[in-house]
Amino acid sequence: MSNKCLIRVQDLLTKSSIQAAKKDEIINYIKLAQAEQKISNIDAINVDKVAKDVSERIKLQRKIDKRNAIENEIKARDHVDYIMSEFADAPAEGLIAILVGSNRRVTGARSSVASHQVAATNGLVTGFTQKLKKAGLESLFNNAEKRTQRRISKVMYEIAQGLEPTEHNAQIIELGRLMEEYSESVRTKLNDRGANITKLWGYIVRQSHDPFLARDAARKLGRTDLAGDNYTKNFTAWKEFIMGKLDKDRTFAGVDNIDEFMRFAYGSVVRNQNLKSDGAEFTYGSYASEVGKNTAKASEMKRVFHFKSADDWFDYNDVFGLGSLTESFYSGLTTAGRNMGIMDTLGTKPAQTYMQIMDAVRSRLTKQGKSTEAIRNNDRFLKYLKVVDGSIYSVEHFGWARWSAISRAIASMAKLGGATISAISDVGLYGSEMRFQGRSFLGGMAEALGNLAKLKNSKQKKEIAEMLGFVADNTIYDVSARYQVGDPLSSGFTRMQRLFFKANGLSWWTNTLKEGAMLGMANYFAKQKNIKFDDLNPQLRSLFDTYDIDATKWDIIRKTAMKKADDGKEFINVEMLDQISDADIKKIVGREDLSARELQIEKDKFKTSVSGILLDRTTYAVIEPDAKVRGILTQGTRAGTLGGEVMRFITQFKAFPIAVVQKTLGRELDYITGPNKDLARGIVGLSSLVLTTGLLGYVAMTAKDILKGRSPRAINKKSIMDSFLQGGGLGIYGDVLFQETRNGVEILGTVAGPVPLTTLDVTFAAASLVRGEPDQAAKAAYKAVINNIPFLNLFYIKNAFDTMIGYQMMEYVNPGVTKRLQQRMRRDYDQEFIFGGPN
């Protein structure tokens, strides 16, 4: 920028109402405006007009910042008042409840950040899915090959630029328009909550990066000519590839050191930092992130890459993004939904607001003369904050994280082949949850079995379930998350895991039960539509209260959100809450002076809260680890750190049993230890749960035994104990914990995790070979190999393999092992092979 231009800008600032603004910030805004308007010589334009536009932008940002600060302060004070009121005897539990919920039966205990995030994300996904279906574009969106995806992207770009699409296929034009309009609506929702995101074509899809591919850029691009260490080669290859596709004027407006900025950007990509949901200030694409002195040094900034064209973006996404336009869109919706959920509850600076809440609670307790010992250790709470703000998903040392994640994925596909058989205990857990809501235990179990028996629901009921917020696993989630925390996996291993859990039946099992639970609860709630809140079943009224649903909200729900299916059954229909009036929203909030923006936000939040009940309770009916369980299992550590990897190896396959303890047992124990005690109810609930899951554990073991060609086990002390372990969640280990050929030391190793156990086998094999014990070495090596072959453990493959090959191999490396196996079966379980067993 010339001195002449600078003098004119300074003169303008002197006369404006923003004298306190920094000179560098103004200049950077003007540089950005120059780039956006494609002006080559700023001296040749009307600088006064540009500077005036810049001034308006700065004023708007200041106004938004001021409004956000006020709203954040209100949210913080409301949370503090809530904790001191509802969790007066246990403020630490209240601080946890805000983030990830609590089993305490008090007002709002389950209306957490995590619950709002899940509901907001699913709402965005299902809302888009419904639009696709109505337009008849679902198949095109899900199945478009790359060439078609490129054409769709180009339509999105042209529509965003206000241009007439050059595409001739009407369906592609319609899909591109729908995707761009939906992307724009999501951007608007984030701005309503305090972000200031500039208009960007394809806002949703452009957040797609694959850290595995970026970290392997040199090999991916075949750049054998590059020198330096591995990191330098990959960074250089990535940088040179993307630089040729960027609109440099817009991307680097206001950046002093481009190379420094690109190193920061590359580091953010390979560390998965784009997955963070840290409020509005640094939301991807926010205008605040576009400016500032030396943006590359602002480590939190999620700066936007401006590509020269849709083709340039598509080329980058094809090589270093998620590749598929479908997956990129769903990924963007997930990130946006998680940001919406955290902003709705903790505001635009969630971490800062939460720390403010903790400090205020400590201050209140001190003034009241109460101990603050229980809330002195911030780590107790921050591990949950790291889950909901997404920082837990960022990666430190990528190489460690990558190979550790791959080894755990292989272990999952080698150990969980019989997981669906073990999941029979879900039926008992389902019944227990329905009893908690005021229905019958046996009726809940019958409903679960009925859902499984009919295999799938009608098309209309599936649509109703989607409107409630149900999203099938493998659409935006991986069903493997039922059994582990989740890892940053490459797209190839992610697809392989999806195939595995489809092959072992767990995807069908989980989706069928979850969809059935959503519909069952929605039907149960709809049956109460003629009953006033105070006259509801006490169990249901208490349930609603924990999600902050009161008499006013229930009246609006029961008069608005009802829909009949083709079989005459009526269901709650969350989508119909879009139709509620402004007057109803004002009743809910208790304010008459709501602006149009506030009305829309409160309408979204109300709709999300109702969907949140169904989504959250579904994870109790069909146990699924939630944000609280992920916080416990990771302890706030990141993948790629020593502590993080140790935690992830040890806790692999522990997510399900810990979720059972936290959710199902925790829910029942609240009747015994919580502030609203009901000892009789608690004892009956725990007893029925333990007995039922124990019985179902025996059924699961028997089913596994029959699939292995063995007769049912005799009912004795050992088989009863195994049944309770199986039904209580430990059955996910399949044959690992209960495999007869393992000794006590190996079982202890298994408890530490399957990968450490394999390491133990390999180490033992090597040590035996060194000691000159080839038989022992062969035995350990065989175990290490055979127990870590993906897909071999599938319940319909394992027995056939053992009968034809496995037993013979076992006998070869360990003579007499099959005879000892049969003797142990007879001794411990009075059990025989049905078809004669191994020869």
Q: How many CA atoms lie within 13 A of 23 on its CB side?
A: 9
Find the distance separating the first CA and the last CA of the chain, reported in whole Å: 87
How does DSSP assign 496-523, residue by residue? HHHHHHHHTSHHHHHHHHHHHHHHHHHH
Bridge partners of 572, per DSSP, are 562
What 3 state SS string does 640-672 have? CCHHHHHHHHHCCCCHHHHHHHHHHHHHHHHHH
| CA 340 – CA 116 distance, rounded (Å) | 8
| DSSP for residue 572 | E
Angle subtended at Cα 117 by Cα 111 and Cα 119, rounded to the nearest 5 degrees: 80
Strands 570-572 and 562-564: antiparallel
Helix axes 310-320, 146-160, angle to 10 degrees: 140
Bridge partners of 286, per DSSP, are 197
Count of residues in the chain: 839
> What are the backbone angles phi and psi of residue 395, rounded to the nearest 5°?
-120, 140
Per-residue pLDDT tens over the stretch 640-657: 899 999 898 888 888 888
DSSP percent split of the chain into helix, strand, coil, nearest 5: 70, 0, 30
Per-residue pLDDT tens over the stretch 708-749: 888 888 888 888 888 887 776 554 443 344 444 445 555 555
Bridge partners of 570, per DSSP, are 564
Token reading at 689: 């749960």
Residues 200, 156 contacting (CB under 8 angstroms):
no
pTM > 0.85: yes or no: yes
Residue whose pair of structure tokens reads 């290859």 in the numeric block:
237
| CA 780 – CA 243 distance, rounded (Å) | 51
Q: How many CA atoms lie within 13 A of 295 on its CB side?
A: 24
pLDDT of 47? 58
| CA 785 – CA 246 distance, rounded (Å) | 47
Residues 337, 121 contacting (CB under 8 angstroms):
yes
Token reading at 670: 């609240």
Residue 419 identity? A
Per DSSP, the three-state class of 609 is: helix
* Residue 432 CA, distance from chain mean position: 25
Contacts 24+ apart (CB under 8 A), 489-492: 489/212, 489/405, 489/406, 489/409, 490/210, 490/212, 490/213, 490/402, 490/406, 491/210, 491/212, 491/322, 491/323, 491/327
Residue 157, Cβ density class (10 Å: 0-12 exposed, 13-18 middle, ≥19 buried): buried
In the chain, how long is the greatest CA-to-CA distance?
97
Residues sharing a CB contact under 8 Å with residue 523, sequence separation 6 or more, in sequence order: 569, 570, 571
Residues sharing a CB contact under 8 Å with residue 118, sequence separation 6 or more, in sequence order: 341, 612, 615, 616
| CA 302 – CA 267 distance, rounded (Å) | 11
Helix axes 596-621, 538-546, angle to 10 degrees: 120
Per DSSP, the three-state class of 116 is: helix
Angle subtended at Cα 280 by Cα 279 and Cα 285, rounded to the nearest 5 degrees: 120
> What are the backbone angles phi and psi of residue 193, rounded to the nearest 5°?
-90, 5
Residues 806, 821 contacting (CB under 8 angstroms):
no
Number of Cβ within 10 Å of residue 540's Cβ equals 19
| CA 609 – CA 115 distance, rounded (Å) | 8
pLDDT of 187? 92
* Angstrom distances, CA of residue 139 to CA of 168, 243, 422, 428, 460: 19, 35, 34, 37, 18
Residue whose pair of structure tokens reads 């049912």 in the numeric block:
712
Angle subtended at Cα 697 by Cα 695 and Cα 701, rounded to the nearest 5 degrees: 120
Per-residue pLDDT tens over the stretch 169-202: 999 999 999 999 999 999 999 999 988 887 888 8
Residues sharing a CB contact under 8 Å with residue 17, sequence separation 6 or more, in sequence order: 59
| CA 213 – CA 491 distance, rounded (Å) | 9
Residues 132, 139 contacting (CB under 8 angstroms):
no
pLDDT of 218? 94
Bridge partners of 635, per DSSP, are none
Number of Cβ within 10 Å of residue 432's Cβ equals 24
Residues of the chain with pLDDT under 70: 1-54, 207, 274-303, 323, 455, 473-490, 728-752, 835-839
